[in-house]
Amino acid sequence: MAIMSSPLTFQPILDRIIAEIEKTPGRGRPADYIPALAACDPHRFGMAVAELDGTVYGVGDWRQPFSTQSITKVFTLALDLAREADELWEHVAREPSGNPFNSLVQLEYESGIPRNPFINAGALVVTDRLHSQTGDAAGTLLDFLRAESGNEDLAINEDVVASESAHGDRNAALGHFMAAYGNIDNPVPVLLDEYFRQCSVEASCADLALATGFLARHGIRADGTRLLTQSQAKQVNAVMLTCGTYDAAGEFAYRVGLPGKSGVGGGVIAVVPGRCTLCVWSPGLDGHGNSMAGVAALDRFTTLTGLSVF
């Protein structure tokens, strides 16, 4: 039964969740295919909730910066959609993939058009198009995150960039494969550098909960200006719900019931349209690349508060 009666009870809810999470034995394993992430302690945990007016509640390591990784795909999608509108959807689809996030399998069958913008192939297309629009995809993303979070200290971790680049052969293969179909405009090495830098932004749960607020405000940024139309904000939230947690999106929707996006750094963002945004971080991942404790915490949040899109 939901026990929440007003926004003022967010903090007790978070306190209850972290107490429960600390008693949970299985935490998963950090992403070991990116050496810079492999050393993270899987028992670290932070969670933040941001209301529409910018009020933030948090517990645990909610102020600790971590590697955002694929969470940034939400923001590059929104930034490009704001510039290109429906033209973007001619280059990337909106369907769940059913395959791992770095799979090449479907591209051959679908003529170089990625299944959705949150698998790696789709994210590469979005970053490519944003770079063509701005001349600096990663810089545009970083400026946006700084503005929405109010944290000018947000930065790109160059050690993670180097680590991703040294182990980025599969992403390179995806980029070259799509370029062969004419679905990539920039030179693949340029695109890969922008993409690795994008994924290497470090931010905290508080930063990301605040930065995601425009999706709960139906496209309105923190300063009151509009980034997306209400329809476009709905589109982004819908793709997050159906595709945001790789090939475990159905399980996430079943357990959590919110639009969400995970990253292999252990972070997960989630949106309650018209009410609040959340970010949780714990580096231990399950077999799909999603934070075990993070998904469990979001499950408990929606159960305790009754806040869900269903």
The catalytic residues are 70, 73, 195, 246, 264
Say how far apart CA 12 and CA 103 lie, in whole Å. Answer: 41
- Read off φ and ψ for residue 65, nearest 5 degrees: -65, 145
Say how far apart CA 167 and CA 190 lie, in whole Å. Answer: 16
Q: Return the ∠ at Cα 69 (arms to 86 and 66), rounded to 5°.
A: 135
Please check whether residue 81 is in contact with residue 88, taking contact to mean a CB–CB distance below 8 angstroms. yes
- Read off φ and ψ for residue 299, nearest 5 degrees: -60, -45
Say how far apart CA 294 and CA 27 lie, in whole Å. Answer: 9
Say how far apart CA 126 and CA 239 lie, in whole Å. Answer: 14
Q: Which residues in 90-100 are b (16+ Cβ under 10 Å) and which e?
A: ebbbeebbeee
Say how far apart CA 279 and CA 215 lie, in whole Å. Answer: 13
Cβ neighbours, 10 Å, residue 303:
17
Residues 6+ apart with CB under 8 A from 64: 44, 46, 204, 205, 281
